Structure 1
Amino acid sequence: MIVIGRGSVQQDECDVMGHMNVRHYVARVTDALAWLLLEGGLPPSRAGFAVQDQHIRFLREMSPGTPFTILGGLVAGDGPRARCFAEIRNSATGDAAATFVTDILCTAAVPRSAFARLRVEVPAHAAPRGLPFGPARPLPDRAAALAMGLAEAYRGAVRADECDRDGAMRPDGVIARVWDGVPNLRNRGTGLGVKEEGVGGAALEYRLLHLAPLRAGQLVTVTSGLRALGDKTSTWTHLLHDGETGAPVAAAEAVGVAFDLKARKAIAIPAAQRAALEALLVPGLGL
């Protein structure tokens, strides 16, 4: 792999849990993928790209001030389509903090020589565990999602400062909408992840699916449902819909854990909260 990004975690990139928020992982890797394409012969002056599908594993926390290096390469591709791999490593320890397998569509064909020169394999620690990463099935519109038992977690609009030079919402804006709505899910009788109680939440794995570009001013909702429940983990499916038409425009799935904010480790879901969560399970849900 080659170096495609460097930096350090900033205070304003961290959330109420005290570690770098998922949206900033996505933002940093999106920047890094542009450097990967430059190395492959597609500088920004010649071509842009859009993220279509992405699988993320979060392996270790990154707190404010943590220096990091992003390494990456090309896994596979043909013409303008490419599957990329990126790994964020703590520069001080060398440990992997997060991994990204990302399918992109470029506005120009990626040179064939790039796939040979920048070829990498996805390592075992980046492989899907709790979430599938294959072709997505057709997703319900907003009305159908609500009828299935999903709950509205977010309602808002796309802001111009969240969009790229072509006017499309950046990938970090999409995952930010999901995260923004999560506290509303906790208020459905679970009390899970309330910071004042010393228990928060942490993501272990994410899948982000982009179906149609979101534009400035476009109205958006997120409807969410609980797909699966483990001893420590909960798996949620989140569907983003166009507020005007109700059509699905993006989706996400996330595996998360209840998180002891003092010990900084995952804990088993308390019995009372488990009972509340079990009542929220939606049969047949998933991407």
Structure 2
Amino acid sequence: MIVIGRGSVQQEECDVMGHMNVRHYVARACDALQWLLFEAGLPPSAGGFRLHDQHIRFLREMPPGTPFTILGGVLEQRGKVLRTLVEIRNSATGEPAATLVSDIEPEGRPHSLDGLAVTLPDHAAPRGLSFDTPRPVPDRTAALAMGLAEAHRGVVRPQDCDARGVMRPEGVIARVWDGVPNLRNGGKGLGVKEEGIGGAALEYRLLHLRPLRAGQLVTVTSGLRALGSKTATWTHLLHDGETGAPVAAAEAVGVALDLVARKAIALPPDRRAALEALLVPDLGL
């Protein structure tokens, strides 16, 4: 892999859990992908890229001030689509903090991929979520009929968009994360920082179906797909608020996190019982 990014975690990139928020992993990785395309002969002046599908593994926390180096390469080419690998490493320890496998479609055709080919390491491979061809995503009416609950309702803001008025890729995972506390609460006492217990994401899949633009209404409907001893797997569907058509989807595996010890813990019995009542059959991408 080659170096395609460097930086450090800023305080404003961190959330209430005290570590870099998932949206900023995606944002930093997408910035780095521009450098990868540059090495393939596609500078930003030649156009950007469209993100179709993405699988993320979160391996270690990155608190404020953590220096990081981003490495990347191309796993394979499928017609116009490049399957890329991005690895964000803690510069101080050399350990990987996150991996992102992304199917991107550049606006131009790469001149050469020589020297950019990489193989997928075990720590970047799918673990709890599939990265196979996705199923059709239901519209908003069908999602609500399945038992999914509305977690977020908003508008795509200009500051969330690129120069063309299209929402940047991190906007999808940002809307999902914004709605999660509504799912945990719901009158069931499942706060995000209850009695020193928070949450952390282990794995995500993000499916981008069609571009979201500034001023567009958007909702997120979500449901609990599976529950393990420590993990909860959620499915999140994003819809055009005006038409109800699906525009994006996500799946996430998360754990309960002891905010003092910074370790995953088994779900407390009362929280587990409340979550079991939220399980929705036949969910998944």
> Does TM-score exceed 0.5, indicating one fold?
yes
Question: Please, what is the CA RMSD of the aligned residues?
Answer: 1.0
Structure 1, 198-207 or 75-84: larger mean CA deviation? 75-84
Residue of structure 1 in register with 2:169 after alignment: 171
* Helix, strand or coil at the partner of 1:83: strand
**Structure 1 unmatched ranges of 5 or more:** none
* Helix, strand or coil at the partner of 2:280: coil
Paired letter, 2:146: M
Residue of structure 2 in register with 1:239 after alignment: 237
Distance 2:188 2:43 in 1: 48
| Aligned pairs (5 A) from 1:201-220 | 201-220=199-218
Q: For each residue in 1:139-160, what CA deviation from the matched residue of structure 2 results, as whole angstroms up to 9, or x when unmatched?
A: 1100100000000000000001
Structure 1, 235-244 or 267-276: larger mean CA deviation? 267-276
Paired letter, 1:50: R
Distance 2:203 2:116 in 1: 25
Contact map agreement 2:256 2:267 (CA 8 A) in 1: yes
Distance 2:273 2:75 in 1: 42
Paired letter, 2:44: P
Structure 1, 72-81 or 6-15: larger mean CA deviation? 72-81
State the percentage of identical aligned residues. Answer: 76
Matched, 1:259 2:253: no
Task: Please point out which of 271, 274, 282 is paired with 1:276.
Answer: 274
Contact map agreement 2:185 2:191 (CA 8 A) in 1: no
Residue 78 (structure 1) shift: 3.9
TM-score by length of 1: 0.97
Distance 1:167 1:189 in 2: 37
Q: For each residue in 1:24-65, what CA deviation from the matched residue of structure 2 results, as whole angstroms up to 9, or x when unmatched?
A: 000000000000000011001012101110000000000000
Residue of structure 1 in register with 2:103 after alignment: 103
Residue 189 (structure 1) shift: 4.3
Contact map agreement 2:73 2:84 (CA 8 A) in 1: yes
Distance 1:183 1:65 in 2: 26
Matched, 1:46 2:18: no
Residue of structure 2 in register with 1:121 after alignment: 119
Residue 109 (structure 1) shift: 1.5
Q: Runs (4+) of structure 1 moved beyond 4 Å?
A: none
* Helix, strand or coil at the partner of 1:208: strand
Residue of structure 1 in register with 2:221 after alignment: 223
Paired letter, 1:216: A
Matched, 1:4 2:4: yes
* Helix, strand or coil at the partner of 1:194: coil
Q: For each residue in 1:229-261, what CA deviation from the matched residue of structure 2 results, as whole angstroms up to 9, or x when unmatched?
A: 000000000000000000000000000000000
Residue of structure 2 in register with 1:17 after alignment: 17
Distance 1:165 1:120 in 2: 31
Distance 1:11 1:98 in 2: 18
Distance of aligned partners of 1:72 and 1:252 in 2 relative to their CA distance in 1, 3 Å threshold: same
* Helix, strand or coil at the partner of 1:102: strand
Task: Please point out which of 150, 159, 162 is paired with 2:160.
Answer: 162
When the two structures are aligned, how many residues end up with a matched partner?
285
TM-score by length of 2: 0.98
Paired letter, 1:202: A
| Aligned pairs (5 A) from 1:117-156 | 117-156=115-154
Residue of structure 2 in register with 1:192 after alignment: 190
* Helix, strand or coil at the partner of 1:209: strand
Paired letter, 1:188: G
Matched, 1:56 2:72: no
Distance 1:274 1:189 in 2: 15
Distance 1:35 1:150 in 2: 39
Contact map agreement 2:58 2:202 (CA 8 A) in 1: yes
Distance 2:78 2:232 in 1: 36
